[in-house]
Structure 1
Amino acid sequence: EGGTTAAADVVTDAAAASALHDAGLHGVAYWEVMGWSNEEWRARGEREVSASLDAMPTPPAVGISPHAPYSLDAEPLLDLPDMARRRGMRIHIHLGESHSEAEWSETRTTALADLWKSEHSSSFTAMRSRGGGFSSTQFVDQLGVLGPDCHVAHGVYMRADDRRRLRARQTAVALCPRSNRVIGLDAPPVGAYLAEGNMIAVGTDSLSSSPSLDLLEDVALLFDLARSQGYEDQDLARRLLQAATLGGATAMGLATGPDRLGQLQSGAVADMCVVDVPVTSIVETIDTVARHGAGRVVETVVSGRVRYSASR
């Protein structure tokens, strides 16, 4: 109903592992891993996660989601990306969602490299408690989490160096502004992401923190946020619609190859939605879809098959 044909579904319960598969949608179902200490991980972590991954149905693709730097110790955060890459899987992580993950350079008492070599490097939380004013993005970058096969969610509390690291690693960030607003976070720096050339996608997060799964609601809010943050270029609507389509496909590794998504192009998978808005010039129509397209999807096509029609 919202026009979505592919999603990054972060799965925390085995009973929900088949949701994308059963719905016939494209995307990646990421098995989420959280709450592991170094000791527990060494004892049984890799074995248990491997069993969970083996039980995930396909299609669509399966990935691994280390939940966040503050919910895992360093060893599982170091090992999980290697597990994903050995299996040819994508990686997803919540990053820069909490103010506690921001860079606190004014209170830094030591360097990240020094802490990493010390006995206080068991986790991001432990390193932060010892005076590490570095950000969680800087931390997971040292662990090898980021890369072109990884995308992060939220990216709210990220300074210029964090955003630079994402660009350097070709890591996309999925912005979820309505969810951030509901749970009381600051707005994501979408204006800076756009101006600096970061790869962005758009996410709804989930119905636990978002009013709906209508992605165009988030696109409209991102438009207003970018303008309020000083982004004045006239390409804003086009770039946000690109983020909601090709940007999402890129974040999930689905933008290339014979089954590529997110683009209206000969040979690509026939995924599309029809939005009922007045058609004027191309530029004005794109602007209207980005700002006022929410709630106006009248048809959604997945792999050439009509899966939703408002007339039915």
Structure 2
Amino acid sequence: MSVRLFHADHVLPGDGPSIADGAVVVAARGHELPEGSVVDVGRATEVVPRHSGADVVRAKGVVFPGLVNAHTHLELSSMRGRVPGGRGFVAWVTGLIGTRREMAPEEDAEGVALAMDELVQSATVAVGDVTNTLAAVTSLARRGIGGAVFHEVFGHDRASVLRRVEGLRVEREERVSQWPTSDLTYAPAPHTLYTTHPDAVRALLDGARARGVKTSLHMAEHASERRAIEHDDGPVPEWLLGMTKHRPAFPKKPLFDYADELGALSPDVLLVHLTDARLEELVRVREKGAPVVLCPRSNLTIESRLPPLLAVREAGIAPALGTDSLASSPSLDVLGEAKALADRFPSVPAWELFQMASWNGARALGRADLGRFAKGTRPGVFVVDASIQGDPAAFMLANLRLPRRQLASRFSESQG
């Protein structure tokens, strides 16, 4: 047969409400579409007759596309539970740096290996991985997890940080032939506007733009970031002085004006966190077309606050979700982020929260082939086997520990 048909009690398409008694049809070997591609989706009463003779798999429970974790730091996976939160970002990151200095390299390798297992078990097929070491790239490729790698740059000494930017450009040219998979894009990325010289921010964003790839920026994560940029005071400048023996002078401009001036409010720059963003700033982000990634459990750990989801929605933004690192989040399950939002914002439909962990994440990373069941996409097909009463998306968020089983890979057999 050239197609496989999955007939399920419920289908969560990833980009809309669930479909009761639904079906998803996927190309098999010999089909005109690449193997693993979605051919059809909808109500079973409509889809099944269109594919008579198909290889039919009857699935109980809910069938859904592979998930997308749009912001994480996989190389920090050995830090799970080692950094206390609740005292604000500066205290948290100081603890992170101190703890990390004491760790052995083999602990990082073990942490990355366990992280890969966790991503696979949670049905995650793509990530936006922010890295300083590229430690997870080979493992991601080996496990068939795609997405984007954002190579982080920071520093306020203009000459040295621009040398770093140029060095990464040269390294990228050398790395092309050795990069383990075309399923992962690569782009250097500024860490934040307060830890990276403005000329380096411009150079990094311009470089990614020229190559047609997306990059990433931690933005409006905490109130002390705004305080530093807008008033040149607060805990951040003194923290940087203690860390680097250099106290940069900040521009004393509105945070989002400064971001716009540097080119950061753009469709090719993922703005991550926005925990401290205001409605009028979020409207501006939407007007500029910048993709947004929220990391609610990390924000709760570090600052004891959630991102302003209702304001994000009011501004017309369809956010993606990310887990951030295991130094600040309890797991790499991006549906855990959706559950944290569901608990605090019960008025938001569960399917919309699921969409943030699937299709919205795929769009944020520039991967129109992932995150939803639509003709031509290749998101993989997964199932939670259960007898479900009521809303299947709400059921999934309330039962995160139930196994998620893969029914169909997004790859052909020849691709592994």
TM over 0.5: yes
Residue 398 of structure 2 is matched in structure 1 by 292
CA distance in structure 2 between the aligned counterparts of 1:73 and 1:236, rounded to whole angstroms: 41
Q: Could you report, residue by residue, the CA deviation over 1:55-102 in whole angstroms, capped at 9, with x for unpaired residues?
A: 262322112321111110110011111111112221111111121233
- Secondary structure of 1:239's counterpart equals helix
Does the aligned pair in 2 maintain the 1:7–1:28 contact within 8 Å?
yes
Shift in Å, 1:305: 7.2
CA distance in structure 2 between the aligned counterparts of 1:278 and 1:35, rounded to whole angstroms: 53
CA distance in structure 2 between the aligned counterparts of 1:267 and 1:303, rounded to whole angstroms: 11
Does the aligned pair in 1 maintain the 2:320–2:364 contact within 8 Å?
yes
2:250 is the alignment partner of 1:127? yes
Query: Which amino acid letter does the alignment assign opposite residue 354 of structure 2?
Result: L
Aligned residues: 273
CA distance in structure 2 between the aligned counterparts of 1:297 and 1:64, rounded to whole angstroms: 35
Q: Which moved more, 1:137-146 or 1:3-12?
A: 137-146
CA distance in structure 2 between the aligned counterparts of 1:127 and 1:171, rounded to whole angstroms: 24
Q: Could you report, residue by residue, the CA deviation over 1:264-291 in whole angstroms, capped at 9, with x for unpaired residues?
A: 122210423322443335xx222222x3
Where in structure 2 are the equivalents of 1:79-158 lying within 5 Å? Answer: 79-102=203-226, 126-128=249-251, 132=252, 134-135=254-255, 137-158=256-277
Shift in Å, 1:197: 1.5
CA distance in structure 1 between the aligned counterparts of 2:155 and 2:381, rounded to whole angstroms: 38
Structure-2 change in CA distance of 1:79 and 1:184 (3 Å) = same
Normalised by the length of structure 1, the TM-score is 0.79
Structure 1 regions of 5+ residues with no counterpart? Answer: 110-123, 307-312
Structure-2 change in CA distance of 1:73 and 1:190 (3 Å) = same
CA distance in structure 2 between the aligned counterparts of 1:102 and 1:158, rounded to whole angstroms: 9
Structure-2 change in CA distance of 1:95 and 1:108 (3 Å) = closer
CA distance in structure 2 between the aligned counterparts of 1:11 and 1:302, rounded to whole angstroms: 27
Shift in Å, 1:39: 2.6
CA distance in structure 2 between the aligned counterparts of 1:237 and 1:21, rounded to whole angstroms: 31
| Bigger-Rg structure (1/2) | 2
Structure 2 regions of 5+ residues with no counterpart? Answer: 1-120, 233-246
Structure-2 change in CA distance of 1:241 and 1:41 (3 Å) = same
- Given the alignment, which residue of 336, 339, 345 partners 1:217? 336
Shift in Å, 1:247: 0.3
Residue 371 of structure 2 is matched in structure 1 by 262
Shift in Å, 1:304: 4.8
Query: Which amino acid letter does the alignment assign opposite residue 405 of structure 2?
Result: E
- Secondary structure of 1:127's counterpart equals coil
CA distance in structure 1 between the aligned counterparts of 2:262 and 2:125, rounded to whole angstroms: 33
Residue 235 of structure 2 is matched in structure 1 by none
Residue 382 of structure 2 is matched in structure 1 by 273
2:405 is the alignment partner of 1:303? no
- Secondary structure of 1:45's counterpart equals helix
Residue 29 of structure 1 is matched in structure 2 by 149
Structure-2 change in CA distance of 1:265 and 1:98 (3 Å) = same
Does the aligned pair in 1 maintain the 2:155–2:161 contact within 8 Å?
no
Shift in Å, 1:205: 0.7
Q: Could you report, residue by residue, the CA deviation over 1:99-132 in whole angstroms, capped at 9, with x for unpaired residues?
A: 1233799x879xxxxxxxxxxxxxx96235xxx2
CA distance in structure 1 between the aligned counterparts of 2:274 and 2:371, rounded to whole angstroms: 22
2:283 is the alignment partner of 1:164? yes
Q: Could you report, residue by residue, the CA deviation over 1:214-257 in whole angstroms, capped at 9, with x for unpaired residues?
A: 11111110112224xxxx3xx521211111110000100002xx
Shift in Å, 1:133: 5.6
Query: Which amino acid letter does the alignment assign opposite residue 377 of structure 2?
Result: A
CA distance in structure 1 between the aligned counterparts of 2:136 and 2:153, rounded to whole angstroms: 15
Structure of higher RCO (CA pairs closer than 8 Å, 6+ residues apart): 2
Does the aligned pair in 2 maintain the 1:103–1:159 contact within 8 Å?
no
* Percent identity of equivalent pairs: 29
What RMSD, in angstroms, separates the aligned Cα atoms of the two structures? 2.6
Query: Which amino acid letter does the alignment assign opposite residue 376 of structure 2?
Result: G
